[in-house]
Amino acid sequence: MIYSKANLAVRDAASTDKRDVTLNRVQFERDGTTVAASPDGVLAVSPHDPVRAERFPRLEDDVGMPPEDGVGVPPGYVGDVARTIPPARSVLAYVQMTRCTEREVELLTTDGTQKIKRASAPSRGRFPPWRAGVGDAARKATRGRVCVNRVALIRMLQAMEKACPDKGNSNPVYIEFGGEEDSLVLRAENYALGQRAIAVVRPLAGPGWLEADEWEREVRSAGDEAVASGNAPKRIARRPVRRVAKRKDPA
């Protein structure tokens, strides 16, 4: 089974709580999807493009295949594997799962001159039914949509984090937007200093809207099926937002 370095990137979305055996993992699925989650959200990456992966050398005949319900491994292990992938050679930007048993998962990469193997014990427990959760969220996401430069959005959020740090670790940011041609408005509060921050991120012109592909449509349909069967997933647990009493203006 082949996965790309993009598939390995979901590790940064996994729960960092090592006591949480359900979410402190990267889930490898049989169709080539990878997914990770935390109480804050979910990130999934679709299977690799077989056309683009044609030049990647199949280094061993042994092919590991995840079970029907997938297999999880620790995020740290996935990070170790990702660091063995050459950064500037897209033809080698893949890993081969060469073993997948109840006791061991083995991933193999190459730097062009040698094989590099890393093995890990699989995670315990079962990963949540994420497709139904993501599909249900996508089904309800109908109030508006906007495309922005994600690097610009990240930079703005990082600046807001410096202006409005939150020692309580709730880190709320309030997002308001209109439509596809309207800017995002981001708002936050510095609780310690009693100040507010407001930012605007302009929409990205030109690319048009990213329509769902076959994989996304399959994920979205899982939410519809869950609703139809009466098994709609519960919302992902959200971190509590600290409530601060309003300050009275001086007379």
Tell me the C-alpha distance between 174 and 187, whole Å: 5
Instruction: Please give the residue that has the higher pLDDT: either 63 or 158.
Output: 158
Q: Could you tell me if 127 and 43 lie in one domain?
A: yes
What's the average model confidence in pLDDT over 204-226? 84
Q: Is the pLDDT of residue 236 over 60?
A: no
Q: Could you tell me if 109 and 65 lie in one domain?
A: yes
Tell me the C-alpha distance between 68 and 134, whole Å: 19
User: Would you say 107 and 87 are in contact if contact means Cβ atoms under 8 Å apart?
Assistant: no
Which tens digits make up the pLDDT trace of 98-114?
999 999 999 999 988 89
Could you tell me the pTM of the whole model? 0.85
> For residue 154, what pLDDT is reported?
96
Residue 78: closest CA among 126, 46, 36: 36
Q: What is the extent of the structural domain holding 84?
A: 2-131
Sequence-ordered alpha helix ranges (H) in the chain? 5-8, 75-82, 130-140, 150-163, 214-228
CATH classification of the domain holding 50: 3.10.150.10
Tell me the C-alpha distance between 114 and 58, whole Å: 13
Which tens digits make up the pLDDT trace of 43-91?
999 999 999 888 888 777 768 899 999 999 999 999 999 999 988 678 8
> For residue 228, what pLDDT is reported?
59
| The domain boundary residue, chosen from 103, 131, 159 | 131
Residue 247 — pLDDT band, cuts 50, 70, 90? very low
The verdict on residue 42 lying in a domain is yes
Q: Number of folded domains in the chain?
A: 2
